[in-house]
Amino acid sequence: MLRRVDHALVGLAVPAMATALVCRVEQDEAERAAGVRRLRWSSAGHPDAMLLLADGTVIDLAAPVGPPLGIGWLGRRVDGLATLPEGSTLLLFTDGLFERRGVPLDEGRAQVREILSRSADQRLEELCDRLLAEMLGEGVEDDVAVLAVRAHPVHVARPIEAGPEVLPPALPHPA
């Protein structure tokens, strides 16, 4: 998908470059029975996602990063693959969350990791609010987007905080 978008931008002569990260949560029947989910992703110059485990451990989901979209790159894009354990939280975000003038990128990402590690027991809304409040303060220099996805246990009733389960008609409903 990233290759197609890249070539469409070049083919349409759109004078822009952009970073992007595409991911998909996957689960076959055996994985569902075991309560396991997989995350597959590919990045076009976008910051690595983070995975917050239920015990507060934070993992950088690193995979080879391809160049940004808009340059017509002909090389191969590589997928990353990780397991999403029950109770874990996937965090996707733009670089505006942690990039600050005069602050090394690793330092900004470390600050995100530290906030996440203290937030494992919070509801997603509270986790995101805390992250934004502590990271942004008064110094917003760029656009910021945050998306958090929690892997609730598959063998218990869907928690209220997860909202209603709505699947497109073309997708089979899980048993």
Assess contact for 136 and 144: CB atoms under 8 A. yes
144's CB contacts (< 8 A; 6+ apart) are 93, 94, 96, 97, 132, 136
Cβ 80 vs Cβ 103: under 8 Å: no
Are 89 and 150 a contacting pair, CB within 8 Å? yes
How would residue 172 be classed by pLDDT, with cut points 50, 70 and 90? low
Confidence of residue 173 (pLDDT cuts 50, 70, 90): low
Binned at pLDDT 50, 70 and 90, residue 174 comes out as low
Counting beta carbons within 10 angstroms of the beta carbon of residue 64, is it exposed (0 to 12), middle (13 to 18) or buried (19 or more)?
Answer: exposed
Q: In which band, very low, low, confident or very high, does the pLDDT at 80 lie, cut at 50, 70 and 90?
A: very high
Q: Is the pLDDT of residue 108 over 80?
A: yes
Q: Which of 28, 27, 10 is nearest to 18 (CA)?
A: 10
pLDDT at 120 over 90: yes
Distance of CA 174 to the CA centre of its chain: 23
Mean pLDDT value of segment 19-24: 92
Which residue segments constitute the domains of the chain, with CATH numbers given?
Answer: 2-27+36-153 (3.60.40.10)
Q: 75: Cβ–Cβ under 8 A, 6 or more apart, which residues?
A: 66, 67
- Note whether 68 and 45 are within 8 A (CB): yes
CA–CA dist 142, 24 (Å, integer): 26
Strands 49-52 and 89-93: antiparallel
